[in-house]
Chains A and B, each alone.
Chain A
């Protein structure tokens, strides 16, 4: 095996990076892929709670980097999927505890044993971001259809190009179809016009995402949810499958009057 290292980043905080990493990882693992997630947000770790693994942490990424444990010891196995692992961030340290070359070293050590390494980047464009992209083979930039998130995504896409990490693939998260329909939210086409990068996923706004995070059980195992489906599709596209984007059109007025779906 030679893993592909994927970093998920966004510039702006709160657009859904951590939730998406957890959900895409579960989707990949449920398709028989072996995957390790690394929480790159040292000092503000969160991937552990979203994945429901917070009670199993013994060692973290900084322990690995500083030689207090072996890499294997910091890898927490998921409760449901035996081929999914988490390397948590340290909570009591800051970004400077890890360097970009440390990240490259850790990822290189993981590469022969897994199919994917997913790195959840912290918000911002400083040290934590630089650490997170250092080892990346592919970068997913995540945004919401909002002015601040799109602007920050554009900045990050520019930085990635400058670092030779481009071209990034875009995920538009929390799209609210009803708002797009009435002209009160940027559409997928609008965001693509503005950012001019390739799309790899469209995730509709979905309450189930919060419910799943509450339980610490990423929702892609529940195929009924729209967002869960979208994350499954992203996983399939990462694996090289051609998957059409979710049907985002709501029925037209005539069709609604005729009672057809």
Chain B
């Protein structure tokens, strides 16, 4: 939206966004590819126990002060619907 209104994005905000990503990787040693692999493993493991929609899963590294946490949001499919099938 801002980009639409003001033309090119300000360079300071690109700097901040790029740094946010770089610092997560520097601090955790977790590359985007490794994060994807982790996500696939998690989905496979959880799917063995409960019914989930793999497309709805989001797994990200969130910054919390100087520490980082892995935040996973994994919506479960309603059990009643499964039984009805």
Contact = CB atoms under 8 A, between A and B. Distances in A.
Nearest to A184: B11
Interface stretch (A84-92, A187-195, A251-259): A187-195
A26 B22 CA distance: 37
A183 B65 contact: no
B66 interface: yes
A184 B20 contact: no
Nearest to B14: A147
Contacts of B20: 194
Interface in A210-252: none
Contacts of B22: 147, 151
Contacts of B63: 196
A117 interface: no
Interface string B15-45: 1101110110011000000000000000000
Interface residues of B, number: 16
Q: How big is the A interface, by class?
A: 20 to 34
B82 interface: no
Chain B interface, >50% SS class: helix
B26 A194 contact: no
B13 interface: yes
Contact of B23 (A182, A184, A194, A197): A194
Contacts of A157: 66
A190 B12 contact: yes
A146 B14 CA distance: 11
Contact of A154 (B10, B11, B15, B26): B26
B27 A186 contact: no
Given A161-B66, A196-B65, A197-B66, A154 B12 contact: no
B16 A151 contact: no
A151 B11 contact: no
A-B residue pairs, 5 tightest by C-beta: A183-B10, A196-B65, A196-B66, A184-B11, A190-B16
14 contacts: A147-B18, A147-B19, A147-B22, A150-B19, A151-B23, A151-B26, A154-B23, A183-B10, A183-B11, A184-B12, A193-B16, A194-B20, A196-B65, A196-B66
